[in-house]
Amino acid sequence: MIKMVDLHKSYRVGTEEVKVLKGIDLEIKQGSMVAIMGRSGSGKSTLLNIISGLEKGNGRYTFKDQNLSDKSLNELADFRRKHIGFVLQNCAMCDSKNVFDNVALPLRYGKYNEIEIQNRVEKALEAMELSGTLHKTVDMLSGGELQRVAIARALIHNPEVILADEPTGSLDEQTEQTILSIFKQLHREGKTIIIVTHDRQVADACEETFCIRDGKIRSD
């Protein structure tokens, strides 16, 4: 489903150019659940950003045989809206929006009508056992609840691929297990799950783990 060949990515820091990815070769099958591990600064998040179309790298990137390498960032935004659900680090939310509006955000960019948005958001929150939080502000929720809201937002537009960047990073063990079981359930439903993690326990729950070392990927 996702194939990357010889992917490079570098950033300019001041006057210097820092190479983060130095030739990534990666293939992720449809419906698989994989972990990406590596030290801090190894380029895990950068790889995730490229997979989601938030950034562009140099090299070949195909998604379901469609070449995304030559797409513009605006075209990649369209691709992201249709195919990708993203769970950010630390359950990032829009502070000025309530739970409903946070979850509805991908649908508003997808130009769904208000009735459909209402129905989908209610269903997504029900699936995460968060029906009573619809009009609450995000500061009223616990860490676990916030993460489930983030997952609801990532699923709201029914994407095929879920990307999660350290989804259990700031959670206690029990909540971590709850979140992990949600991902496993999604995997059973046929979603492709890609998780960036430091946590060996999370990686063990996945079918395959890729390690990034020296800008390249090693299958673990």
Partner 1 sequence: MNMIFTEVSESIRRSRTASYFIFFQIIMLFFLVTILFLNYASLDRKTDQAQTLSSLNRYQLSDTLYNDGELRKLMSQPSFLTILKRLYINLEENLDEKYIYAFTQPAKLLNYDDANKEIFRSYYEEGKRIKPSMIDNIGPYYSIKAIQMNKQAIDHFQITVMDGQPFDIEDFKNVNSKNIPVLLGYEYKNIYQVGDVIKGKYLFEDINFHIKGFVKENSLVTTARRSELYLDRYIIMPAQHFIYSPVDDASFKFQQKHYLQLINGEIHSSNNGYVVRNKFEAIKKESGFFDTQLLGANNPSYNFVFASINEHIGLLTLIAISVFIVCVISIFILMLDKVDKNFKNFSVHFISGANLNHIFTYFLAEIIVMVCLPGVVAILFYKFLVDVSFVWYLILMTGCMATIILLTIIPVYNKIRRLEISMFLKRAG
Q: Which two tokens stand for residue 210?
A: 């890729």
CB of 71 or CB of 184, closer to partner 1: 71
**C-alpha span between 41 and 162 (Å, rounded):** 22
Task: Say how many residues touch partner 1, by CB under 8 A.
Answer: 34
Part in contact with partner 1 (CB under 8 A); list of ranges 60-68, 105-113, 123-131, 186-194: 105-113
Which of 22, 97, 123, 198 is close enough to bind partner 1 by CB under 8 A?
97
Is the distance from CB of 23 to CB of 213 less than 8 angstroms? no
Q: Which two tokens stand for residue 162?
A: 């879920």
128: nearest Cα among 148, 114, 108: 148
Which of 32, 69, 90, 175 is close enough to bind partner 1 by CB under 8 A?
90
Q: How far is CA 6 from the centre of its chain?
A: 22
94 binds partner 1 (CB under 8 A): yes
153 binds partner 1 (CB under 8 A): yes
What residues does 193 pair with on adjacent strands?
33, 162
Q: Tell me which residues in 162-191 interact with partner 1 (CB under 8 A).
A: 165-166
Which of 105, 127, 134, 211 is close enough to bind partner 1 by CB under 8 A?
105
**C-alpha span between 71 and 52 (Å, rounded):** 13
Structure-token match 């999604």, residue found: 186
What residues does 87 pair with on adjacent strands?
164
11 binds partner 1 (CB under 8 A): yes
DSSP designation for 81: H
- Specify the 3-state DSSP secondary structure of 125: helix
Part in contact with partner 1 (CB under 8 A); list of ranges 107-115, 140-148, 173-181, 182-190: 107-115
Binding mask 66-85 for partner 1 (x = CB under 8 A): -------xx--xx-xx----
Please give the residue ranges that form the binding site for partner 1 (CB under 8 A): 11, 45-46, 49, 52, 54-55, 73-74, 77-78, 80-81, 86, 88-90, 92-97, 101-102, 105-106, 108-110, 153-154, 165-166
